[in-house]
Structure 1
Amino acid sequence: MVDDVPAGGHTAAVVADRFDRLTWRDTYRQSAGLRELVEELTERHEHAGDLLTDAFLAAYQVRPRLREHGEMAPSRLVNHRIVAALTESPDFAELRRETAGDPYAAAMAVLAQAAALRRMLERSRDAQEEAERAAGGATTVADVADVTGAHRRAALALAAAAPGIGAEARNAAARAAAAVREEAALMRAWGVGPAELERMPFDQRARLAERLRTGRLARWAELIGRFRQMADGERARRVENATGELVGVTLGDDLARVIPAELANLGLPKLRAVFAARYAAGELMLYESQGERATGRGAVIACVDTSHSMYEAGPGGVTREAWAKACALALLDQARRARREFVGVLFSSADRIRIFRFPADQPAGVAPVLDFAETFLGGGTSYQTPLSAAAELLAEEFEDAARARGDIVLITDDECDVTEEWTRGWHEAKRRLGFRLFGVAVGAPRAAGAGSVLEALCDNLRSVEDLTDVHAAADLFRVI
């Protein structure tokens, strides 16, 4: 259906219904960035507000449609040419895959194109002035001769600016697509799904995006994404590449099912005696098939060291804290897929601890996830405080829901002592609740050495020296 052309021609290049226009007005009201941009451009270009409306709708609509050149008011021919150049650019289709139907993303695309839109308007200044002069003689659409003449003169003036406009439009669409794609990837890396974003108010989403783009959280996104990709692959491997359908690990002395991390101990002379002792006691970590799986599975608890030394960066620029928390967030995903509760325990000195609980039957929510990621306690290192807290949480779960066999992952870069009395209580809790303790020594090989406290406490222990390597923890996601 073709719109009736009003007297003097249309002022909007993109065909829009009242719902589209309402969406624009609502987004404009909520976005301080859009309001500031309109105010700035309008000081030098009278019809810039209409141009930004068109740019927004072109990105927002599922199938944007531009009016015919001849339907436009001469004063808006420059706007029409700019929007046409944007929609014709090769990257515009990619941009719209992220922005169609999403007012926030469409507004972001407009803001990302601000510098290019400013330059395109400047390039078109002479054409705009000519169009304004030509428009003076065209008072009604019925006056075909005047309208045709006005369009002809304006078109000639635009022709000189067209090459520059086209180049700017291509660059603008590419930059906008990259900016929107980067923010979408950032949200995905932090576990913020499309449904949650759709429900989120505009200003809250803008604040979240700013929070994720700045500070150390921005530097962690790529690492978190790699951890999640690795974990997804390991979950697939444990089902597809093993005999039977493997669902985790158990303890025993069947050498045919010993996990690789245990076998690796045989290659280290200092750990061969440990391997032999575990074999004799029937406590080697073995792959577990579905037929062996117990019905109840307890919580997954990540105890993350946030002492001062965890802030140190390795050769690749990745801090120990970043690696530890990226691993913990991947474990959060692991727990949710298995419908298990996840608990993040941040610790340092004996009196410093923060606990973040993520129940299996509730959405994780981006706010507590970010609070968990951003919290850093500083101070020294104490194993007893976080491990006791973890055991108490598993005991509470066992008493309330009769779920046992939880998994605790202790990620630290330090070695510290534990008392004999505490150790006796710890082993009793393990026997009663049937949980496992996995240890990860990040950037500190001595903490994972033979005879260390970590080695004595953990059922399974690995050392991570290269903090750019997410695969150093791959076996965790096969057995938890």
Structure 2
Amino acid sequence: MDKHESVINTDRFERRRFNQILEMSERLQEIVHKGQEGFPTFRPLMSDIWASLYKMKPSLLEEDAYDKNYQVNHDIMSRIMNEEGYFSARSSTRLDDLSSALGTVQYSEKVYEWVEKQRQANEELQKAIEEALKAQKSLAQAEQKQQESQNEIDDAKENGDKEGQKKAKSKQDKAKNVQQKAQESLQQAMQQIQSELSNQLHKTGNQLSEALKSATNEANQTKDDLMNLLSGGGSGAGNREGELQKLPLRDQIKLAELLSKNESLKKIAEWAGRFKAIAQKKQKNKHVETIDRSGVTLGVDVERLLPSELAAFKNPVTKMDFLRRFAENQTMMYAPEGKENLGRGPIILCLDQSGSMKELDEQSKGFALALMMIAKKQRRDFAIIPFSSTTKHQKLFYEKGKIKPSDLMELAKLFLGGGTSFLTPLKAAVSIIEERRRYSKSDIVFVTDGDPQDSHGLENYCGISGEFIKKKKERGFNIITVLIGNQVSERYVTPFSDKVVRASDFNNESVANAVFTI
């Protein structure tokens, strides 16, 4: 984009960066396409919106520093940059590619919708926009014909064809005349557009302001949902941002756009954020409870360091000595009381997806992502076995609790339906433990809201002398069962469970205490 098309103080790098992000974002491309069909200077306006969000110190150019055809963009950008919501948004968008891209999507949508509304209600504006678009098309065609004529002139010169040069020069002159007329028509039309939209900004500018305010909220919510999905155990905005930054920008943008379109994924993100906060708190409490503050040992566990060691780190005089001892594993810390269970073995979640679980589908997947967060934090492998009676079992594996955007979408879309079968997931869990050495001594979380249709086979498999119980003793795995609702009996799960928890849904203290402390 030529510099004169911008009404913001952009440089070559910033304009190139916007083009790169535009190439990554299908949503931005869609907005550019529809915007250009209804508003002649819409694409440069989108680039200015992005720059105003991304730059450290954006400012509007003086009137003599930009093409007058873009005066309307200057007026709109002036409006945007004086909005309270814009200043609020800037706290998170400065030098942040993703936040700036999300903000550009939302702001551009709102501006486009506002312009469309004015165009439909104003016949003069509609006519001026049509004339401008027509002039732009004529201008582009004239420029192309000039270039073609110039190529013909060059070829004729090379061949010594004077007659050919004369004809090509005549074509070029005609194209220049067309170009000049088109430029004049475009300027007249843009002046009319400027006049009409300026009047509308005075009359209905509050509508645009409200729309821009909601755009800021929507962009912030999308990023928050994204961090809820991807965060892996850190606390605070900085750590959540850090988790997000590990993902390539193209994938961040793609997942953010999927979130904005997929209501189910949004709800999963909300539940995931809630459950992860609970899980993190439970894990922290469990960790604190394992510390015996009467004993002291040497080590580098930051959470157990003695206050005197922390003071040594903060003191400039003793800091280097502390760092040396820390590097040599010689810093003093509180000794743990016994052996912690953290990081024992992988986690396998057997998740009921029979028809009766449909209403809790988003909640159950948010719960699964919280368990995955624990696995990731403790570097434990994680597997999900969704089960019902209507299909063969599936096994979803996440090494060290890490999940890719494509895996998130697969999980979000997955729902089996049908009745309830316990044999299938239990056998699948055993097969994972036997076939994959890394899954030995797993913690199995078995979740269901109904009694099994295969109860007879279950009794044989999970009875006192059944194969499941033998494997359980041989392989040393544990199983916690969560019964959702009051319609399921404990008698079917008690034989194979180390612990049984009953709750109305996943958002229950008893579930958190039992599952999020594994």
- Quote the residue 2:426 is aligned against: 387
Native 8 Å contact 1:13 1:66 kept in 2 = yes
- Quote the residue 1:263 is aligned against: none
- One-letter code of the match for 1:171? E
- One-letter code of the match for 2:473? R
- One-letter code of the match for 1:86? I
Unaligned residue ranges in structure 1 (runs of 5+): 1-5, 133-153, 246-288, 314-318
Native 8 Å contact 1:186 1:212 kept in 2 = no
The counterpart of 1:457, out of the listed 488, 492, 496, is 496
Quote how far apart the aligned CAs of 1:304 are: 0.7
- One-letter code of the match for 1:429? K
Native 8 Å contact 2:226 2:259 kept in 1 = no
- Quote the residue 1:330 is aligned against: 370
- One-letter code of the match for 2:512? A
- One-letter code of the match for 1:434? G
Native 8 Å contact 1:408 1:438 kept in 2 = yes
Quote how far apart the aligned CAs of 1:16 are: 1.2
Unaligned residue ranges in structure 2 (runs of 5+): 133-192, 232-242, 294-335
Native 8 Å contact 1:324 1:411 kept in 2 = no
- Quote the residue 1:431 is aligned against: 473
- Which range moves more in the overlay, 41-50 or 404-413? 41-50
Structure 2 CA distance for aligned equivalents of residues 413 and 381 of structure 1: 9
Q: Deviations over 1:171-222 (max 9, x none)?
A: 24312211211211221232274225544258xx447633663253333332
Q: Deviations over 1:372-430 (max 9, x none)?
A: 34322233322222122212323445xx35x7532111000122321335432222222
The counterpart of 1:308, out of the listed 355, 367, 373, is 355
Backbone CA RMSD of aligned residues: 3.8
- The alignment status of 1:414 with 2:450, answered yes or no, reads yes
- The alignment status of 1:378 with 2:373, answered yes or no, reads no
- Quote the residue 1:277 is aligned against: none
- Quote the residue 1:53 is aligned against: 47
- Quote the residue 2:512 is aligned against: 474
- Which range moves more in the overlay, 69-78 or 50-59? 69-78
- The alignment status of 1:96 with 2:90, answered yes or no, reads yes
The counterpart of 1:200, out of the listed 224, 244, 250, is 250
- One-letter code of the match for 2:20? D
TM-score, scaled relative to structure 2: 0.65
- Quote the residue 2:111 is aligned against: 116
Native 8 Å contact 2:72 2:194 kept in 1 = no
- One-letter code of the match for 1:419? E
Say if 1:186 and 1:61 are closer, same or farther in 2 by CA, change over 3 A: same
Q: Determine which structure has greater relative contact order: mean sequence separation of CA pairs < 8 Å that are 6+ residues apart, divided by chain length.
A: 1
Trace 1:391-406 onto structure 2 (pairs within 5 A): 391-397=430-436, 400=437, 404-406=440-442
Q: Secondary structure at the match of 2:48?
A: helix
Native 8 Å contact 1:413 1:447 kept in 2 = no
Structure 2 CA distance for aligned equivalents of residues 166 and 110 of structure 1: 19
Structure 2 CA distance for aligned equivalents of residues 350 and 78 of structure 1: 60
Native 8 Å contact 1:82 1:169 kept in 2 = no
Structure 2 CA distance for aligned equivalents of residues 27 and 293 of structure 1: 46
Native 8 Å contact 1:57 1:64 kept in 2 = yes
Structure 1 CA distance for aligned equivalents of residues 411 and 33 of structure 2: 40
Trace 1:77-226 onto structure 2 (pairs within 5 A): 77-103=71-97, 105-113=99-107, 114-117=109-112, 119=114, 122=118, 163-164=202-203, 167-168=206-207, 170-191=209-230, 193-200=243-250, 205-206=253-254, 209-210=257-258, 213-214=261-262, 216-226=264-274
Structure having the larger proportion of residues in helix: 2
Report the identity percentage.
22
- The alignment status of 1:238 with 2:257, answered yes or no, reads no
Native 8 Å contact 1:85 1:165 kept in 2 = no
Say if 1:196 and 1:168 are closer, same or farther in 2 by CA, change over 3 A: farther
| Count of matched residue positions in the alignment of Structure 1 and Structure 2 | 390
- Quote the residue 1:297 is aligned against: 344
Structure 1 CA distance for aligned equivalents of residues 71 and 222 of structure 2: 33
Native 8 Å contact 2:270 2:366 kept in 1 = no
TM-score, scaled relative to structure 1: 0.69
- Quote the residue 2:380 is aligned against: 340
- Quote the residue 1:444 is aligned against: 486
